Amino acid sequence: MKINENILISSLTTMRLGGPARYVVEVESYDDVAEAFGFARQFGLPTFALGYGANTIGHDEGFNGVVVINRMLGIDEKPTTDGVRLKIMGGEYWDDVVAYACKKGLTGIEALSKIPGLAASAPVQNIGAYGQEIADTLVEIDVFDTSDSSYKTLSKSDLKFSYRKSILNTTDINRYFVISITLDLKSGEMPRPFYNSIEQYMKEHSISDCSPQSIRQIVSAIRDSKLPDPMEQASSGSFFKNIYLDNNEALIAESKGYPVYRGKDGNKINSGWLIDQAGLKGRLLHGMRVSEKAPLVLINESAKGYNDLKAARAEIVAKVYDKFGYWLEQEPVELQ
């Protein structure tokens, strides 16, 4: 276990905002996890589980507590009747996991390529993209329960997945530290029809190969063309959640000419489209740039602190609401 003191949260998160965390503890084994949380209890300090930092926003005052980061590595696999069950340690970089699965011809997570983060973070907000989400393949997760200092296994049903939500970021936020995740992946190909942008890319580039590796390459190319690399431009990926509508709301939206995507996970309007139509694409607001390529993304070009982000967010939310009547909801969590 590695214990570091007074580490800037801005150095641990891709939006590059945030003052010092009193302690940052990196855990490399099951025993380290219990020791890290015991250390926090000993000094009466709050804890925060941090992954890659791509979905976390720091505050200027920092965090007077213990940030715990999973550094456990390893992937174990067991054959199933139609594929492979993978047990993935939480410190594995998520995109490396996707690459590993695709090379083996396994389908289920190929559309989740290029999502920055650690494997442990994937179930927290039920990551999803291009028609897939982690809930589609997740079987269970191993966790450390901070409420009674015990190790437990939670099943998919225990997690109560919904759009960008699970108990890990709602009813039981900060209770469980994710140690590993287990996925059931199948041999074969992702079923069609694919997400519109994938189908369009395949048509434009005359691609007929639907193997997991091919879909991974397509998704990676689409994301690279739209989304800034957080290592090169400070951002948190998609900053706002898409707008989900019930069937009646979807009909009303369509009657107004709004583009409604109807998929297995429900009816939605891309929040990036709303931001674009509100005239905000490419705008610099309080040091935060609304991405020209993907308006759903905010890029920290010159923000002096969290209050600049807060002001930019408020302006975007207000303008979208004034024009469309929809309230945008922030996707990244806040470390405070």
What residues act catalytically? 164, 238, 331
- Which secondary-structure segment (H or E) carries 194? none
- How far is 67 from 312, CA to CA, in rounded Å? 27
Residue 295 token pair: 């308006």
**Residues 6 or more apart from 129 whose CB is under 8 A from it?**
111, 112, 115, 219
- Which secondary-structure segment (H or E) carries 75? strand 75-79
The DSSP secondary-structure symbol of 242 reads P
Which residue from 49, 57, 68 is spatially nearest to 19, judged by alpha carbons? 57
Distances (CA, A) of 292 to 11, 119, 279: 25, 29, 11
- How far is 271 from 285, CA to CA, in rounded Å? 18
Distances (CA, A) of 49 to 37, 75, 91: 10, 21, 12
Which residue from 6, 2, 121, 13 is spatially nearest to 63, judged by alpha carbons? 6
Q: Which amino acid is at 332?
A: P
SS3 86: strand
- Which secondary-structure segment (H or E) carries 39? helix 30-42
Give the bridge partners for 279, in sequence order. none
Contact indicator for 112, 137 with CB cutoff of 8 Å: no
Residue 334 token pair: 């806040």
Q: In the block, which residue shows the tokens 């983060």?
A: 117
Phi-psi region of 88 (alpha: psi -120 to 50; beta: other; left: phi over 0): beta
Neighbours of 308 (CB within 10 A): 18
